[in-house]
Chains A and B, each alone.
Chain A
Amino acid sequence: MTVLEVRDVHRVHGTGATSVTALDGISLTVGAGELVAVMGPSGSGKSTLLNLAGGLDSPTRGQVLVDGTSLQSLSRKQLAAWRRKRIGYVFQDLNLIASLTAAENVALPLDLDGVRGSRRQAEEALTEVGLDGYADRFPDEMSGGQQQRVAVARALIGERRLVLADEPTGALDSRTGEAVLRLLRSKVDDGAAAVLVTHDARHAAWADRVVFLRDGVVADVSERDQPEELLSTP
């Protein structure tokens, strides 16, 4: 089942002589249970693609559909609610709210929609990312790596169908980074769809598909062999 569909998307920043083409006709489909990694040199359009997929930015041309609904067809208010319920993000800059505790930050998307039991779910999500006992700490009472894991917990909480992560392992050491990837993988194996932007090939390798971007277009795709293919290999 397709969760995210990006259809021939173009994104040009600015106009006239100073305009920059960040995406130059990209198509990408991500199904439930699928993790897609996006790699490419800096400036190749990875973050732009992720922002479009999450409805934080709109394409100059082309369409982005989540669960079959075109994000451009939604009003701002509808889009905001849609994003909170269905899409989890981990950004390059963490965007934790300094005046909220770890648990409150994680529970925020649920609280905004009046979901009950958000505190318990937040604590569970924190435990999953290895932050048992940190629920009542404020961001400035935690290390960069711990804050990163709070951001990951916030992205994975609830019934998220689509998880978008832009360099989520940037500030993490190798073992913690791997733990984050295992979490993302298990969320996907439970039925979510996810797109992961990363520079780190070892992290990208957790994906089912790795898309290489270059100058705003897909340069190549590396697909993990399907089990059937492995069996039929002589």
Chain B
Amino acid sequence: MSVKHGLLALLERGPMYGYQLRAAFDSATGGTWPLNIGQVYTTLARLERDDLVAALPENEGQRPYEITAHGRDELKKWFTTPVQRGDRPRDEVAIKLALAITTPGVDVAKVVMTQRTSTMRTLQEYTRLKAQPGDLPWLLVLDAMIFQAEAELRWLDHCEASLVRYEPQAVPVPADVEVPR
């Protein structure tokens, strides 16, 4: 998700000031994605340049923004288009583990265990938040994070079980590299 579409969705509720947008973004994501006010204003400036939002007349030195018809089209398109897995950032944990296996002298089981303990702790924190009362949208965001952490833990269990049977193959050396003897 982009901050751009997040702000458009919030403005669909009605015109807002920058600081209001920041607070609304914060409460929509339960504080899990903190934005600073500078990010809000640079994003608004870009949205205004692309005619997706319009600035309204200043009111006591503050400028409210509203969504434009063009912005509404863009927002609708965003809601109706699925997010592609490839659009998401690479999974650093998976890459780290793959490298750990092929790097000499690394205790891979330890890498797995350390990650698992950390991810488990994160899951415990989310669950503690979930035990408190909250609005449905926020609880669903929380559930998404909970299921993702759970998936990572299952994958780590899978890695651990696979490592028990793993016999390293010789790492191929690029053909054009002279190996000194």
Q: Which residues of A pack against B, CB within 8 Å?
A: 41, 182, 185, 200-202, 204-208, 210, 212, 219-225
Contacts and interface: CB of A to CB of B under 8 A. Distances in A.
A204 B149 CA distance: 12
Contacts of A220: 113, 116-117
Given A210-B124, A222-B117, 18 more contacts: A41-B157, A201-B123, A201-B150, A201-B154, A202-B123, A202-B127, A202-B147, A205-B123, A205-B146, A206-B127, A206-B131, A208-B124, A212-B113, A221-B117, A222-B124, A223-B121, A224-B121, A224-B124
B41 interface: no
B12 interface: no
Contact of B150 (A202, A210, A219, A225): A202
Contacts of B117: 212, 220-222
Contacts of B149: 201
A207 B131 contact: no
Contact of B128 (A204, A210, A224): A224
A40 to B, nearest CB: 10
B125 interface: yes
Interface in B125-148: 125-128, 131, 146-147
B16 interface: no
11 contacts: A182-B131, A185-B131, A201-B123, A202-B127, A204-B120, A205-B120, A205-B126, A205-B127, A212-B117, A224-B124, A224-B125
Interface of B: 113, 116-118, 120-121, 123-128, 131, 146-147, 149-150, 153-154, 157, 161
Nearest to A224: B124
A177 to B, nearest CB: 13
Determine chain B's interface SS by DSSP, over half rule.
helix
A225 B123 CA distance: 12
B113 A222 contact: no
B113 A207 contact: no
A207 to B, nearest CB: 7
A210 B113 CA distance: 13
- Interface hub of B116, B120, B147 (most chain A Cβ within 10 A): B120
Contacts of B121: 222-225
Contacts of B128: 224
Contacts of A212: 113, 116-117
B146 A202 contact: yes
Contacts of A182: 131
Nearest to A203: B127
Contacts of A41: 157, 161
A222 B127 CA distance: 14
B125 A201 contact: no
Closest 3 CB pairs of A and B: A222-B120, A205-B127, A205-B123
A225 B125 contact: yes
Nearest to A202: B150
B101 to A, nearest CB: 19
A25 to B, nearest CB: 18
B10 to A, nearest CB: 29
A205 B131 contact: no
A223 B117 CA distance: 8
A231 B172 CA distance: 49
A222 B113 CA distance: 10
A219 B157 CA distance: 13
- Interface hub of A205, A222, A223, A225 (most chain B Cβ within 10 A): A205
- Interface hub of B121, B125, B127, B153 (most chain A Cβ within 10 A): B127
